[in-house]
Amino acid sequence: MGQRLFRTQRFLPLFITQFMGAFNDNFFKNALLLLITYKLALSDNDSAVMVNLAAGVFILPFFLFSATAGQLADKYDRALITRILKVAEIILMGLGTFAIFALSWHDAPAFLKSPLILLSILFLMGAQSSFFGPIKYALLPQHLKDNELIAGNAYIEAATYLAILLGSIFGGILIMRSNGEFIVGAGLMGVALAGYLASRWIPAAKPDASDLKVNYNFIYETWIILKSIRAQKVTYRCVLGISWFWAVGALMLSQLPAICKSIIGADETVVTFYLAIFTIGIGAGSLLCNRILRGIVQTTFVPLGALGMSIFIVDLYFACKGIHVSDTTMSIREFVRHFVCWRLAFDMLMIAGCGGIFIVPLYALIQHRTKQAEMARVIAGNNIVNALFMAGAALAVVLGLRTGLKIYEIFLFVAFINTLVGIYICLLLPGALIRSLVRTVLAILFRVEIKNLENYNKAGDRVLIIANHTSLLDGMLIASFMPEKVTFAINTHIAKKWWVKASCALFNAFPMDPANPLATRSLIEEIKKDRKCMIFPEGRITVTGALMKVYEGSGMIAEKSGAMILPIRINGAQYSKFSYLKGKVKTRWFPKITMTVLEPRRFEVDPVFKGRERRQKISAGIYDVMASMIYQTSEIDEHLFRSLLGAANIYGYERQLLEDQTRAVLSYRQLIRKSYIFGNVLRRRCRHEKYIGLMMPNSLPNVVSFWGLQAYDRVPCMINFTSGIAPIITSCQAVGVKTVFTSRKFIAAAKLEALDDALEKAEIKVKYLEDVKNSISIFELISGMLRYAMKLKPRAKADEAAAVIFTSGSEGAPKAVLLSHRNLQANRNQVLTVVPLNSQDRIMNCLPMFHSFGLSMGTVMPLLSGIRTFFYPSPLHYRYISELSYDSMATVIFGTDTFMAGYGRVANPYDFFNIRFAMVGAEKLREATIKLWMDKFGIRIFEGYGTTEASPVVSVNTPMYHRPGTVGRLVPCLAHRIEPVPGIEKGGELFIKGDNIMMGYIRHDKPGVLQPPADGWYDTGDIVEIDKEGFITIKGRAKRFAKIAGEMVSLTAVETAVNTLWPKNLSGIVTLADARKGEQLVLITNNMNADSASVLKHFRDNGLSELWVPRRIMTVKDIPLLGTGKIDYVTAKKLALEKFPASE
């Protein structure tokens, strides 16, 4: 956010104007101090006194004129006043130039060479600066947003001290040259002119108190302003803190020449060196403060900054005390050889850095709390007090030196007073020091990154903070990194623990007795007092890595208290030793932790819900908030291969990950190495080709080829070898596939020689992996190994194509679906948010990789999540798959209803003993299949719904939210709308929009032309009904409805009815034209005993319309199926037309 300010007119011209003004002030002032110290014939003590007098002269105008300056800045356009002041600066620099020239003019009158002339000009420069001071800090809140104030102040402070550094360096170096007076004079004029030009670009700043009557009695007006500030407790304390810092800073800087000359025995180059160190420290501290606070106005680190200054000032005292003055004046080259040089430099750096952390939040807090109409006067009052403190500090130093104190002894006194200031601040901000220390330790150990912290302020005062519970660190992270102390609801028994009492400096504990029904009401009343309260809705630390059960208490508290909900995602802590996932993920002591603060939201439940139903609705609502939070903070804008490398780091390169029917096993290391080597070979075999075909069954070579192409930004096109010769060639030509990689062994086993020949005739090259493997050259091998060793990452962006899947063509010609890296990443994270899978699971994937589910959920998702996966080439080998599931200890299996029914019929009751999650999609899950699996294996099957275009999962039943007969609830952050369909009373056609929706189609009639969904909305073509809990019921395809005698009949509903009649058989419905009723239904079934009478009786017994009864029945031994397991309705309809060529 801060860097964007430099691209705005709201900030950049002011920044440059301020920089030039600060540069000129210090350019002139430091030149003057060095003239007094080194060129004028004064004793050491007189030089020290004169130096402090010069400092006092410069700051005196701030005391005299700030009140008037504040009034003028509130009454008139601040941008206009700035330009007038810059003209005045040009005039003053002209006078200063003349005065400096006079020192080098031998014949000049004696009074022109008097230091008093230069001191007078310095006074006038201080006056000009005193008028500009209220303007610059008043312009910031007028032109910047609240969440930009910290950054704006940090950059202004850093720029101020950078200008001090450069001005002091150039002033010190140039003035000591033989013709230095002339160079300094020219520089003063040039910089003043540049500042004026920059000021002309400052946007107009309309005054908020144009009717203000200016009181030129500066004494009275000063008293009024200070009295007004005193009445504002927070502002007053900030002013005192800022003034004390300026007093310390001015004292440190003004004593540098005297320290270097009298204590160190060094020349002006050492003075310049320490000025640079001090200035760098201030700038670094200011920018670090901006980075830490993330745009939020807070004072957490102010006590730490104050006490840090004390510690290093004390060390500076001891360092100076131990120095023995050299007999000869040392240059910087000589001095840097001494250890004390670097000790002093470190002390100066840390004093200044702590000062930057100390002062930036105080300025921002004043601007945040003060009304705009009074802003300039408050800043003026601050400048008055600043001047008073700095003048007092200068006077104290002069008196101390006159009484015989050494300069470094004054430092010890300053450290003592500063410590008292730090203690006072700690009393004002109880717990801030502890919170800042804990935050610092956590930030260092865990590299904690907090995102979107600006949302914290957006939530307002009455807030319920909810977060996922990943580890024992979570509470400490929330308590330490929030801008203010948060109230934690804690069990009364836990609240009595010593460590909870000791942690009260980090948070406010609100003990709650879970057995007391009034405890929740007490917390609600506490939040109503405009408090921010923290609750973990899961109630326990996750043991799965995914969301656990969510209690409705947090939702009820938010609703009853009227609080905004502020979700916070903690990510990374689950990989620490403080999580409960040991053995499930590779834990380590200090993983990187990211905290993301999401947009606050209001939680409301429809008042029609009562009792238990209302509590369930609240629980579901909070769960949805948590699920959305987890998904929204997931990394979806990342290349798949980059994620694979990241997964290897998380789960370990030696983790065994892949296995196929050959029983070969690959680890992450082997997969990545083979991908680099083999991908390098594949891309060299088809140079300048982006889309490359892969036509292989589920196997390790197919997986390695897929990831190998990803490693080199090639797009694998997954060829559906079961779809037939013509559709395959059409699909390849549409996308522009010129080369297809396959296996000679596979072609022979699958008897696809005709397809092989047809591809060659269509000028699509077919290359066999066996030949490719045998032809790998030494150069290709070494090249791939080098890329593996360097872990070179692909360059494609996340929104570019990652894979091409071809639709099944069950209702027409196949279409090429382009899925981006972002699409696939989004869908896997959507699913993992609601489905409790973890790296201890083992997946049996027998769905082909040319199927969107087989690729996305069966390949990409598990490999990027550390889940071991068994790849089997065909889902139709029911007995083998059942046995392999038992042998591989599979815990997760995916399939269609047809496949699952097949496994259920032939499997031993113990084959699936280890399965804990079985998911079905692509076709309707029949009641008979559900009953078979529950009775035989004791396993509940979860039905889901997806489409290739959605990468593919749209909705899914989960252990948390499951309703039989539906396809579950939508995955997180997937927008939907229902369009009405004529003839359909309940529900309508489903349209969806989200990160997982495809890039678009490439159709055979427009080769190479990407056709994205209109406005991002994808028409699923499915007729659905969504109940009030969000569960989706599929009523059928929009294209799978028949209009019979004017009535809309769902072919899917008819199929479901027939399948309940003959649950052990497979049946499908197609339509043919009918001369009398428009369309007629034809039943195709593998039940050889099927008859119309049984169907009619079954429909009548179940109260179904006789319009639903199929007019024709066609029995076949084998129902035509696609490779995905769905019924091939195109082929089925051809069979029906062949048998019933003429409609009746």
Which is the catalytic residue, given 368, 469, 639, 851?
469
The yes-or-no verdict on residue 568 having pLDDT over 60 is yes
Q: What residues are paired with 1044 via a beta bridge?
A: 1047
Side-chain-side CA neighbours of residue 969 (13 Å): 21
Q: How many helices (H) and strands (E) does the chain have?
A: 39, 33
Q: Of all residues in the chain, what percent carry a pLDDT higher than 70?
A: 90
**Distance (Å) of CA 482 to CA 123, 416, 554:** 45, 31, 19
Phi, psi of 714 (to 5 degrees): -100, 155
| pLDDT higher than 70, residue 495 | no
Kindly indicate the confidence band of residue 1142, based on its pLDDT and cuts at 50, 70 and 90: low
CA 91 from centre of chain: 51
Task: Decide whether 2-205+217-428 matches 435-632 in CATH topology.
Answer: no
Q: What is the DSSP string of 206-218?
A: --S-TTPPP---H
Q: What is the pLDDT of residue 327?
A: 64
What is d(CA 845, CA 891) in angstroms, rounded to the nearest whole number?
Answer: 11
State residue 811's pLDDT score: 47
- pLDDT tens per residue, range 123-132: 888 888 888 8
**Dist. CA 1138–CA 1131, nearest whole Å:** 11
Q: What's residue 1123's pLDDT?
A: 67
**pLDDT(41) > 50:** no
- Whole-number Å distance between alpha carbons of 193 and 91: 10
pLDDT of residue 504: 66
User: Taking the mean position of all CA atoms in its chain, how far away is CA 623?
Assistant: 21
Instruction: Examine the pLDDT at 1144 and tell me if it is beyond 60.
Output: no
Q: Which amino acid is at 646?
A: G
Highest mean pLDDT among 149-153, 251-255, 787-791, 817-821: 817-821
pLDDT band, residue 44 (cuts 50/70/90): low
- C-alpha span between 711 and 678 (Å, rounded): 10
**pLDDT (mean) for 202-228:** 79
Average pLDDT over residues 1063-1074: 84
pLDDT (0 to 100) of residue 110: 60
Task: State which H helix or E strand residue 1000 sits in.
Answer: strand 1000-1002
CA atoms within 13 A on the CB side of 692: 28
Structure tokens at 862: 């598990």
Q: Count how many residues are written for the chain.
A: 1144
Mean pLDDT of 427-432: 69
**Arithmetic mean of pLDDT over the chain:** 82
| Cross-sheet strand order for the sheet of 691-695 | 765-768, 739-742, 691-695, 715-718, 801-806, 816-820, 1000-1002
Tell me whether strands 463-467 and 564-571 are parallel, antiparallel or unpaired. parallel
- Element holding 1072 (H helix, E strand): strand 1067-1074
**So what's the pLDDT on residue 970?**
94
Q: Which CATH class is domain 641-1026?
A: alpha beta
How is 595-626 classified by DSSP, letter by letter? EEEPPPEE----TT--HHHHHHHHHHHHHHHH
Q: 210 falls in which pLDDT band (50, 70, 90)?
A: confident
114 band by pLDDT with thresholds 50, 70 and 90: low
HSE value, Cβ hemisphere, 13 Å, CA-based, for 71:
16
pLDDT digits (tens, 9 = 90+) for 661-676: 889 999 999 999 999 9
Residue type, position 114, single letter: S
Q: Could you tell me the strand order of the sheet in which 1032-1037 lies?
A: 975-979, 988-993, 1018-1026, 1032-1037
The reported pLDDT for the residue numbered 842 is 93
Using CA atoms, how far apart are residues 1128 and 1130, in angstroms rounded to an integer? 6
Alpha helices, DSSP H only, in 633-738? 640-651, 668-685, 700-711, 725-735
Would you state the pLDDT for residue 704? 94
pLDDT, position 77: 86
Query: Residue 994 — pLDDT band, cuts 50, 70, 90?
Result: very high
- Mean pLDDT of the region 22-29: 83
- The domain limits of the chain are 2-205+217-428, 435-632, 641-1026, 1045-1139
Helix (H) or strand (E) holding 254: helix 233-258
Q: What percent of the chain has pLDDT over 90?
A: 20
Contact assessment for residue 1066 and residue 1119, using Cβ atoms and an 8 Å cutoff: yes
Q: CA-CA distance, 432 to 438, in Å (whole number)?
A: 10
Q: Is 674:638 a contact under the CB 8 Å cutoff? A: no
Q: Give me the pLDDT at residue 294, please.
A: 61
Among 410, 439, 506, smallest CA distance to 304 is for: 439
What mean pLDDT do residues 835-862 have?
A: 90
Could you name the CATH architecture of 2-205+217-428?
Up-down Bundle (1.20)
Confidence of residue 1060 (pLDDT cuts 50, 70, 90): confident
In the predicted structure, residue 1024 carries a pLDDT above the cut 80: yes
Fold (topology level) of 1045-1139: GMP Synthetase; Chain A, domain 3 (3.30.300)
| DSSP result, 768-802 | EHHHHHHT--HHHHHHHHHHHHHTPPP---TTSEE
| Residue 575 vs residues 470, 644, 887: alpha-carbon distances, Å | 9, 17, 30
On whether the CB atoms of residues 325 and 265 are closer than 8 A, the answer is yes
Tell me: pLDDT of 691 over 50: yes
- Please determine, for residue 1, whether its predicted confidence score (pLDDT) is greater than 60: no
Strand partners, 695: 742
Question: Which residues are CB-contacts of 384 (< 8 A; sequence separation ≥ 6)?
Answer: 62, 63, 66, 67, 222, 225, 226
What is the residue whose two structure tokens read 């496994």?
903
**Residue 1004 annotated in active site:** no
List phi, psi (to 5°) of 154: -65, -45
Q: Which two tokens stand for residue 441?
A: 């330790």
pLDDT score, position 430: 67
User: Which region, left, alpha or beta, applies to residue 809 given φ > 0 means left and ψ of -120 to 50 means alpha?
Assistant: left
Tell me the CATH number for domain 435-632. Answer: 3.40.1130.10
Tell which phi-psi region holds residue 871, choosing left (phi > 0), alpha (psi between -120 and 50) or beta. Answer: beta
Tokens representing residue 477 in the block? 């992270």
Query: What is the H or E stretch that residue 148 is in?
Result: none
203 or 34, which is more confident: 203
Question: What are the φ/ψ torsions at residue 318 (nearest 5 degrees)?
Answer: -70, -35
